[in-house]
Chains A and B, each alone.
Chain A
C-alpha cells in the first residue's frame, strides 16, 4: 500500500514538473517583447532593454526555467510583473475561495448523482428515462448559461440570493451560504449529469453479473444486494468519473466566478492571461496542477479501498 502511494506521488511530481516546464517554455517562446508590453508603447528602447535585463529575460530560457524551479521549490514563486505582488499572496487566498466552490459542487453532485443513478438503475422504467433525459440536458447546457438563468431568476427576480460578491465563511456563515449557493448549483448541474450516467451504467452492468444471482441465491435481502454489493462494485467507475468532473469543475469555476463576481482563481486567471503576466500564469498553472494531482491521488487511494485488485497489485 505504501509503495502504491509513493509510486503515485512520484508520478504526480513528474507530471507537475513536466506541465510547468511545458508552460514555461511556451510562454517564453511566444516571441513578443514582454518588457515592451509591461512598460507600454511610450517607453524608450533603452528602458525596455533595461527592464528585459532586470527581469532576466535576456538569459537562455533553460537557465530561466532552472532559476524559476529552484526558487519555486523553496516556496518563492516570484512576483507579478505588473503589480509586483508576490505570486503566492495573489494565489493562496483566492485558491481557497475557488476550492470552496469546487469541493462544494463535488460533494453536492456526488450525493445527488449516486441517488439518481441508483434509482434509475434499480427502478428502470419512466424514472430511468427521466434521469437519462435530465442527464443529457445537464451534460449539454453550458454551466454559464445555467448560472445566468439562476442569477436572473433567484437573484434578480426573486432576490433570494445575492447576485454577486462573496462573503467569507468565517465572517458570516449565512452570508457565505447566500453567496456560494447559486455558483455551486450552477457548477453541479453538469457533473451530476455525468456522474449519474456513469453510476447508472455501471450499476446496470453490475446487476447483470453472475455473482449477483449467487448472492440472491443465498437469500440476502434485495436492499443488501443492491447497496452493499452492487453499489460497491459500481462505485469505482463512478468515483473515477467524479474525479474527471472535479477537473472540469475547476475550469468551470473560472467562468462562474466571473458571472458572480467572486474573488477566486478565475478572476486572477483572466486578468493575468490577458496581460501576459508570466510569473502569475506560472503560479496559477502550478497551483491547478497540484490540486489536480492531489485529487487524483486521493481518488486512487479510495479506488484501492473499493477494489481489492488495485490495492493488492
Chain B
C-alpha cells in the first residue's frame, strides 16, 4: 500500500489530480478566510455584472459576489461528497465482506438489495425521495449513498469471494486462524486497493449528482451551491454567459480530477504487468543449411526473444536446430521454461504478446516460414501445418458449436460447400472416436468432457490434411487413462496420413510411447537430439542423464498384470 502511494506520487497525472483535489478541500475549509465578500450579501445595484476589480468574477442575478459564493459552495460539495462516500463505503464494504466470506444469507440479502437499488435510475429515486424529504441536500445525498453502495458491495464481494476459494485461505483455516484474523490478514489486503480506486470514481459521481440536483432547483436555495449557481447562470445565459463558466469549471474540473485520480490509481495497481515496448530487432538470416532429403520441417539457428521493460530483448530460445522428417514423430522434451513451447509457437508464428523470431530460419516445403507475411502464413496454418493445444476446454470458442468451428477452416482452405464440409466434419468426428458425431457436431464446448474436447481439437487439426502436426503437451491436461487413448489416436492418425509430428512434452513416458526421435531442451537450447531408443538406452548429455535419474522407476510392476 505504501508502495502504491509512492507510485502515485510519481505518476504526473495522478499527482496533478491529487493536488487539485487538495486545493479544492483547502479552499472549502478556509472559505471564510479566502472569500472577499459575504456570499449571501446581495448587492442590488450590481447584478449580472462582469468581472471587476472589486468583484473578480462578477456578480450573479441577485448581486452576490460570484467568487465568494463559489468558495462557499465548495464547502457544500466537499461535505456532501464525504457524506455520500462514508455511507456508501460503510454499507457496501461491510455487506460485501460478510456476503463474500460467509455467503448464504448475506449473499442472498446482498444480491436482492443490489438488484432492487439498481432497478431505477438514481435521479428518479432521488426525485421521489425529495418529495418526501424536502429540499435538504444532505438528506438527498444520504439516500444517494445508499443507492450507490452496491458499487462497493460488488467490488468487495467479488474480491472476497475469489479470495475465499484460494488455497492460502484454506491453509490459514487449517493453521487454526480465527475468521476475523483470516479476514484481516488475507481478505482486507485484497479489497483495499480496488476500494480506493472505486472511492475516487464515486466521489466524482456524487459531485456531479449533487450539482445536478441543485441545478434542477431542488436544493436548499439559502445555501450557495455549484449547481444552484449554474442554474442562475443558465437562466441568464444570454445576458451574462460568463456566469455559467465558473460553476461549470468547478464541477467539471473536480469530477475530472476524481476520475483521473481513480484511473491513475488503477494504472499503478495494474503496473505489475510488464509494459510493452517495441524493441527494434532485425532478424538475421542464416547461411543456407544442409537439410536431409526427406526433411519436412527444418529449423536452423532459431532464436526467439521478448521485449523487456528497458527496451532490450530477452532471448528465450537460442540457436535451435531441429528437423522433422515426413512420417516421423519428433519429441521436444524439457522442463518448464526450457523454451520448448516457444519453439513450437514460433514455427506456427503464433508467439504470444510481443514475442518474435529474432534470428534463424524455419524451412518448410522450400519456403522460410520466418520470412512469410502474415497473410501468407495464415494460408499455411491449418492447411499445411496444424496445431493441437494443451488445454482442451479453453481452446474451443465457447460461443460457437463444435460443428461450426470444424467447418469454418475447411470452407476457407478447401473451398468446400457448407454441406460437403459438414459431411467431412461428421466423418472426422467419427474417425477420432466420438461416439455420436451428429450430437457432438451440434454441441457447445462446455457440454463436452475434457477427453472429448481434445478429440474434437485433434479432428480440427487434421481436417485439411496437414503435412505437419504441432502438438503442444496434447495429453498433459488429461487423466492417464484418457491420455493413453488420445496417444493411440494420435499414433493411428499419424500413420494413416503419414504426417510429420512435432510433439512438445515434459513426460518421458509419452516420448517413449509415441516418438521416433527426440530433442532435449534446456534453457532455450537443444542439448541432445537423436533416435528415441538410442537416447533412452544411452543418454550422452549430462542434463539428459540427470532427467532420467529423476524419473521414478516403476519397473517393479512391469509385466506382472495378467
Q: Is the CB of B350 within 8 A of A217?
A: yes
Do residues B128 and A247 form an inter-chain contact, with CB atoms below 8 A? no
Contacts A19-B120, A27-B128; is A232 near B399 (CB within 8 Å)?
yes
The answer to whether A220 touches B412, judged by C-beta atoms less than 8 angstroms apart, is yes
Contact indicator A254/B123 (Cβ below 8 Å): yes
B192-204 to A contact mask, C-beta < 8 Å, 1/0 = 0000000001001
Contacts of B356 in A (CB 8 A): none
Could you tell me if A210 and B132 are in contact, using CB atoms closer than 8 angstroms?
Answer: no
Q: How far is the CA of A22 from the CA of B125 in the complex (A)?
A: 11
Distance in Å: Cβ of B376 to nearest Cβ of chain A: 11
Interface-side segment among B58-66, B93-101, B380-388: B380-388
Q: Which residues of A contact B405 (CB under 8 A)?
A: 215
User: Shortest beta-carbon distance, A140 to chain B, in Å?
Assistant: 3
B399 lies within 8 A of A233 (CB): yes
Which residues 519-533 of B have a CB within 8 angstroms of A? none
Q: How far is the CB of B123 from chain A (nearest CB, A)?
A: 4
- Most chain A CB neighbours (cut-off 10 Å) among B212, B237, B255, B276: B212
Per-residue B-contact encoding for A132-161, CB less than 8 Å = 1, 0 else: 000011011110110011011000100000
A149 to B251, CA, bound (A): 13
In the complex, are the beta carbons of B251 and A145 less than 8 A apart? yes
Which of A250, A259, A293 has a CB less than 8 Å from the CB of B121? A250
* Overall SS of chain A's interface: helix
Tell me the smallest distance from the CB of A184 to a CB of chain B, in Å.
17
Cβ proximity bits B421-458 to A, threshold 8 Å, 1 near / 0 not: 00000000000000000000000101100000000010
Query: Are A218 and B121 closer than 8 Å at their CB atoms?
Result: no
Q: Is the CB of B124 within 8 A of A229?
A: no
Q: Please, what's the 1-or-0 string for A239-258, where 1 marks a CB less than 8 Å from any CB in chain B?
A: 00000100110111011001
Decide yes or no whether A192 CB sits under 8 A from chain B: no
Most-contacted residue by chain A among B201, B380, B381 (CB, 10 A): B381
Given A211-B395, A219-B413, A292-B119 in contact, is the A255-B216 Cβ separation under 8 Å? yes
Check A140 against B255 for contact (C-beta < 8 Å).
yes
Cβ-defined contact, A309 with B119, below 8 A? no
Question: Is B256 positioned at the interface, with any CB of A under 8 Å from its CB?
Answer: yes
CB distance from A83 to the nearest CB of B (A): 16
Q: Taking the complex as formed, is B57 at the interface, i.e. its CB lies under 8 A from any CB of chain A?
A: no
Smallest Cβ-Cβ distance to B405: which chain A residue: A215
User: Does B244 have its Cβ within 8 Å of any Cβ on chain A?
Assistant: yes
A270 touches B127 (CB 8 A): yes
Answer yes or no: A74 CB below 8 A from chain B CBs.
no
CB-defined contacts of B408 to chain A, threshold 8 Å: 218, 220, 224
Q: In chain A, what residue has the closest Cβ to B384?
A: A219
A41 at interface by CB-CB < 8 Å:
no
Q: Which of B259, B375, B382, B446 contacts A136 (CB 8 A)?
A: B259
**Which one of A45-53, A60-68, A175-183, A283-291 contacts B?**
A283-291
The residues of B that contact A222 with a CB separation of less than 8 Å are 374, 378
If A214-B457, A219-B412, A270-B218 touch, does A152 touch B397 (CB 8 Å cutoff)?
A: no
If A140-B259, A156-B237, A254-B216 touch, does A288 touch B131 (CB 8 Å cutoff)? no
Residue of A nearest to B256 (CB): A140
Partner of B116 from the list A15, A220, A293 (CB cut-off 8 Å) is A15
Interface stretch, picked from A87-95, A114-122, A272-280, is A272-280
CB distance from A232 to the nearest CB of B (A): 5
Q: Does more than half of chain B's interface fall in helix, strand or loop, or is it mixed? A: helix
A217: contacting residue among B127, B260, B348, B379, CB under 8 A:
B348
Check A26 for interface membership: any CB of B closer than 8 A: yes
A258 touches B350 (CB 8 A): no
**Alpha-carbon separation in the docked complex, A281 to B412 (Å):** 59
Question: Does A140 contact B260, Cβ atoms closer than 8 Å?
Answer: yes
Residue A80 at the chain B interface, CB threshold 8 Å: no
- A-side contacts of B211, CB under 8 Å: 142, 144
Which B residues touch A224, using CB under 8 A? 408
Query: Does A269 interact with chain B (Cβ within 8 Å)?
Result: yes
Min C-beta distance of B152 to chain A, whole Å: 16
In the complex, what distance in Å separates the CA atom of A46 from the CA atom of B252? 52
Contact A211 B397 (CB under 8 A): yes
Give a binary string over A184-221; 1 marks a CB under 8 Å from any B CB, 0 the rest: 00000000000000000000000011110111111111
The answer, yes or no, to whether B391 is at the interface (CB within 8 Å) is: yes
Report the separation of the CA atoms of residues A148 and B386 in the bound assembly, to the nearest whole angstrom: 58
B284 interface residue per 8 A CB criterion: no
Among A233, A254, A274, contact of B131 (Cβ-Cβ < 8 Å) = A274
Set of chain B residues within 8 Å of A229, measured between Cβ atoms: 397, 399-400
Point out the residue from B120, B215, B389, B447 that lies within 8 Å of A288, measured CB to CB: B120
* CB–CB A218/B457 < 8 A: no
User: Are the CB atoms of B378 and A221 closer together than 8 Å?
Assistant: yes
Do A145 and B131 have beta carbons less than 8 Å apart? no
Chain B residues with Cβ below 8 Å from A254 are 121, 123-124, 127, 216
Q: Does A307 contact B (CB under 8 A)?
A: yes
In the complex, are the beta carbons of A308 and B124 less than 8 A apart? no
B371 interface contact, C-beta 8 A: no
- Decide if A30 is an interface residue (CB 8 Å cutoff): yes
A170 CB to nearest chain B CB (Å): 27
Interface string of B225-249 (1 = CB under 8 A from A): 0000010001001100100100010
Alpha-carbon distance A19/B124, docked complex (angstroms):
12
- A23: Cβ under 8 A from any B Cβ: yes
Minimum CB–CB distance from B285 to chain A (whole Å) comes to 25
Q: Does A306 contact B (CB under 8 A)?
A: yes
A219 touching B123, Cβ below 8 Å: no
> Is the beta-carbon distance between B255 and A255 smaller than 8 angstroms?
no
Given contacts A140-B256, A210-B395, A220-B412, contact A276 B131 (CB under 8 A): yes
A137 — which chain B residues lie within 8 A by C-beta? 256, 259
B258 at the interface (CB under 8 A from A): yes
Say which residue of B128, B350, B378 sits within 8 Å of A285 (CB atoms).
Answer: B128
Contact A211-B394, Cβ < 8 Å, known A145-B248, A308-B399: yes
Taking CB atoms, residues of chain A closer than 8 Å to B381 are: 216-219
Closest A residue by C-beta to B116: A18
Interface residue? B540 (CB, 8 A): no
Q: Does B307 contact A (CB under 8 A)?
A: no
Partner of B123, one of A18, A252, A307: A252
Given A140-B260, A219-B381, A289-B120, A148–B248 Cβ distance below 8 Å? yes
A142 touches B212 (CB 8 A): yes
A-B contact pairs, 8 of them (CB 8 A): A144-B230, A145-B252, A152-B244, A217-B348, A218-B381, A254-B124, A258-B216, A284-B124
- B binding-site residues for A, Cβ under 8 Å: 115-116, 118-124, 127-133, 201, 204, 208, 211-212, 215-218, 230, 234, 237-238, 241, 244, 248, 251-252, 255-256, 258-260, 263, 276, 348, 350, 352-353, 374-375, 378-383, 386-387, 389, 391, 394-401, 405, 408-409, 412-413, 444, 446-447, 457, 460-461, 464
Taking A140-B260, A277-B131 as known contacts, 18 extra A-B pairs with beta carbons closer than 8 A to each other, sorted by chain A number, are: A144-B215, A145-B251, A148-B248, A210-B391, A217-B387, A220-B382, A220-B408, A221-B378, A222-B378, A229-B397, A251-B122, A254-B127, A255-B212, A270-B127, A272-B131, A278-B131, A289-B120, A293-B119
Point out residues on A near B: beta carbons under 8 Å: 15, 18-19, 22-23, 26-27, 29-30, 124, 136-137, 139-142, 144-145, 148-149, 151-152, 156, 208-211, 213-222, 224, 229, 232-233, 244, 247-248, 250-252, 254-255, 258-259, 269-270, 272-278, 281, 284-285, 288-289, 292-293, 306-309, 312
